[in-house]
């Protein structure tokens, strides 16, 4: 469960990147976090994971408050950041092992998990190579594996589909569905509507750091008199307020 309550964040005293945003991701739910570039998605997710401190508001991950009990909250989170160019000097396997070590995964679980995930995403054969030699998509896959190798309860995925090939994107979507069906929570950001349409139980739409809409897609469509999603989205982005 993620509970994001009245959170605000201002950069350099000027840019209000997130402005009094509230929403929750309930157990068993996939929530799409939708907004154009620069709307505050990454900033929100960084606050959920402890990378940034919120100026105001409270954020709860599972049972824990990320500000008050950061270590316990972080243990529950699997986070994919928006930058896959990380740890390029490590081999893929070393990176996955690092993540598994840090989250304290026992040997029996780890080996099997790495093998299964790596095979599903088609990166098993390159695990022994330094990630500097990976393509963008391969790096993104490693980020996905690194975030999921400890089987966290709460997934916070910042534009996870970027750069993935269709098969891997499909695998990831399936994994998200399975994870939610086990009663856990998935939040993922995107600016691509089709992805959200097929996958999400609910969506949160933000623009200029303000929440415009929270609810199911059906609710959204009915409110807008049955236009197509794309039309609705463009209309929302072009008009002040709703």
Catalog residues that contact ligand ADP under the rule CB under 6 A. Answer: 11-12, 15, 17, 35, 37-43
As a whole number of Å, the CA-based R_g of the chain is 18
CB nearer to other proteins: give 85 or 219.
Answer: 85
SS3 per residue for 122-173: CCHHHCCCEHHHCCHHHHHHHHHHHHHCCCCCEEEEECCCCCCCHHHHHHHH
Provide, rounded to whole angstroms, the least separation between the CB of residue 25 and other proteins. Answer: 17
Provide, rounded to whole angstroms, the least separation between the CB of residue 212 and Mg ion. Answer: 17
85 binds, among other proteins, Mg ion, ligand ADP, none (CB under 5 to 8 A by kind): other proteins
Secondary structure (3-state) at 235: helix
CB nearer to ligand ADP: give 12 or 240.
Answer: 12
Q: Which tokens is 115 given?
A: 């093998």
User: Of residues 63-102, which lie at the interface with other proteins (CB under 8 A)?
Assistant: 70-72, 74-75, 77, 79, 81, 83, 85-90, 93-94, 97-98, 100-102
User: Of residues 32-61, which lie at the interface with other proteins (CB under 8 A)?
Assistant: 46, 49-51, 53
CB nearer to Mg ion: give 42 or 91.
Answer: 42
CB atoms within 10 A of CB 89: 9
Provide, rounded to whole angstroms, the least separation between the CB of residue 115 and ligand ADP. Answer: 33
Provide, rounded to whole angstroms, the least separation between the CB of residue 37 and ligand ADP. Answer: 4
CB nearer to other proteins: give 100 or 196.
Answer: 100
Q: Which of 182, 223, 218 is nearest to 201 (CA)?
A: 218
What's the Cα-to-Cα distance from 6 to each of 11, 56, 57, 175, rounded to whole Å?
17, 7, 5, 30
SS3 per residue for 208-220: CCEEEEEECHHHH
Site residues (vs Mg ion, CB under 5 A): 42, 82
């Amino acid at each position: 469960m993620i509970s994001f309550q009245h959170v605000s964040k201002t950069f350099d005293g000027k840019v209000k990147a997130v402005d009094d945003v509230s929403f929750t991701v309930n157990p068993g739910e996939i929530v799409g976090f939708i907004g154009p570039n620069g709307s505050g998605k990454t900033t929100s997710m960084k606050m959920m994971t402890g990378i940034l401190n919120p100026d105001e508001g409270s954020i709860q991950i599972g049972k824990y408050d990320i500000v008050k009990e950061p270590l316990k909250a972080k243990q529950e989170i699997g986070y994919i950041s928006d930058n896959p160019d990380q740890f390029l000097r490590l081999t893929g396997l070393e990176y996955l092992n690092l993540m598994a070590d840090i989250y304290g995964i026992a040997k029996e679980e780890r080996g099997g998990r790495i093998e299964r995930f790596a095979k599903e995403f088609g990166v098993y054969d390159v695990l022994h190579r330094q990630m500097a030699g990976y393509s963008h998509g391969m790096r993104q896959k490693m980020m996905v594996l690194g975030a999921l190798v400890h089987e966290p309860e709460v997934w916070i995925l910042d534009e996870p589909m970027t750069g993935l090939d269709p098969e891997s994107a499909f695998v990831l979507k399936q994994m998200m569905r399975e994870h939610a069906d086990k009663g856990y929570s998935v939040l993922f950001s995107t600016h691509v509507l089709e992805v959200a349409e097929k996958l999400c139980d609910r969506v949160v739409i933000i623009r200029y750091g303000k929440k415009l809409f929270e609810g199911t897609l059906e609710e959204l469509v009915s409110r807008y008199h049955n236009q197509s999603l794309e039309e609705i989205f463009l209309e929302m982005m072009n008009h002040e307020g709703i």
